[in-house]
Amino acid sequence: MNYGKKEILTDLSFDVAEGETVALFGPSGVGKTSLLKILAGIQKSDRGTITFSDSFSQEETILVFQDFWLFPHMTVTENIAFGLKARKLSRAIIQEKLQKIITAFDLTGLENQFPDQLSGGQQQRVALARAIVLEPKLLLLDEPFANLDSQLKLTMRSYLQRLQQEYRFSVILVTHDRDEAFHLADRMILLLAGTIQQIGTPQELYFYPLNQQVAEAIGEGNYLSGNVQGESFQIGTTTLVVKNPQQLVGEARVFIPYGTEIAISEQGLPARVFSNDWSPNGQRTQLQVGECLCTFTNLSQKVQTGTEIHLNFQQSLQVLPV
């Protein structure tokens, strides 16, 4: 897809399964929202095809924009009922669906309120209710929680998961919030420079990025230099078990995310405790490993600043080229 002479999206290919949540993750300006509009049928692509198979169809695909797009002159009930009336359903069926959806979305008592009388979270629920009352098979969400405060974001994420289980729709979610993608997605699609860099579960992208660009986009990574041969990575006198999908040989770097599970023992990779910081998610420790100052958040026990320890990694680590 092009904007003028600039190519925004190129050579994209992915699928979405029934009941699955897929997060399109990446920085602003890489074409995530444009891709949603193409899937919704409101923007044309320059080439390629979109195939709706099984129970999916473009008619049963609904896009919810970041700014909600509620009709300011309509009440909560009128906003939610808008699509039902457009489909020319009977008044009895509309009332039945409205009653169920208003209860499901905790909007009881707000039926006659206008959008400017609602909080951000309430407006978000109305926008989602207006979409889900139409019983879509595929729900497209464009940065749905970007305008909410941190606590309300957590509440709405859990709310969306509960609704998805109840109504059994698939979701394609656009976000540049990594934690939101981790929380909601069954799979993540990392978009950089208009192309897909990696598709996988949140855990796969976090622990096993395919390249340096993915690792930097996900963040929270440490890099140690050494030499690799097969699935063995040598740092000084210590040998680590690694994943080496590119079959690198010789000088390379091992990628170690902050959240890697690490056991403290009498043998292993030597390190010196540089600092300790408290966080709500546990101890955040900086360790001097050779010439590298590394950060870890998942050590098996508390350690004291200034002490010498040895690290044993409880999972294979990913090797990346220098």
Are residues 171 and 22 in contact, defined by beta-carbon separation less than 8 angstroms?
Answer: yes
Distances (CA, A) of 211 to 218, 275, 278: 11, 29, 31
Q: Kindly report, residue by residue over 247-271, the tens digit of the pLDDT.
A: 999 999 999 999 999 999 999 999 9
Rg of the Cα trace of the chain? 24
Are residues 285 and 296 in contact, defined by beta-carbon separation less than 8 angstroms?
Answer: yes
CATH number of 2-204: 3.40.50.300
- How much is the average pLDDT of 212-240? 95
The pair phi, psi for residue 195, each rounded to 5°, is: -130, 155
* Residue spans per domain, the chain: 2-204, 221-320
303/263 Cα distance (integer angstroms): 11
The answer for 143, left when phi > 0, alpha when psi is -120 to 50, beta otherwise, is left
Are residues 24 and 189 in contact, defined by beta-carbon separation less than 8 angstroms?
Answer: yes
202/218 Cα distance (integer angstroms): 10
Predicted local confidence at residue 2, as pLDDT? 47
- How much is the average pLDDT of 35-53? 84
Higher pLDDT, 49 or 229: 229
H helices within 66-149, ranges in order? 76-86, 91-104, 120-132
221/268 Cα distance (integer angstroms): 20
Closest CA to 188 of 179, 147, 8, 198: 198
**Terminus-to-terminus CA distance in the chain, angstroms?**
33
Higher pLDDT, 1 or 86: 86
Predicted local confidence at residue 6, as pLDDT? 57
210/213 Cα distance (integer angstroms): 8
Q: For residue 53, how far is the Cα from the chain centroid?
A: 24
Residue 281 has pLDDT above 80, yes or no: no
Predicted local confidence at residue 237, as pLDDT? 92
The answer for 219, left when phi > 0, alpha when psi is -120 to 50, beta otherwise, is left
Are residues 106 and 121 in contact, defined by beta-carbon separation less than 8 angstroms?
Answer: no
Q: Kindly report, residue by residue over 117-150, the tens digit of the pLDDT.
A: 998 889 988 998 999 999 899 999 998 888 778 8
Hey, what are 254's tokens?
Answer: 């091992």
- Contacts by 215-219, CB closer than 8 A, 24 or more apart: 215/255, 215/320, 217/25, 217/26, 217/27, 217/190, 217/192, 218/178, 218/190, 219/178
Amino acid identity for residue 54 in this structure:
D
Distances (CA, A) of 259 to 79, 200, 280: 44, 18, 14
Confidence of residue 1 (pLDDT cuts 50, 70, 90): very low
Higher pLDDT, 46 or 306: 306
Please calculate the CA angle 7-8-13 and round it to the nearest 5 degrees: 105
Q: Kindly report, residue by residue over 57-116, the tens digit of the pLDDT.
A: 888 899 988 777 899 999 999 999 999 999 999 999 999 999 999 988 889 999 999 999
Write down the mean pLDDT value for the chain. 90
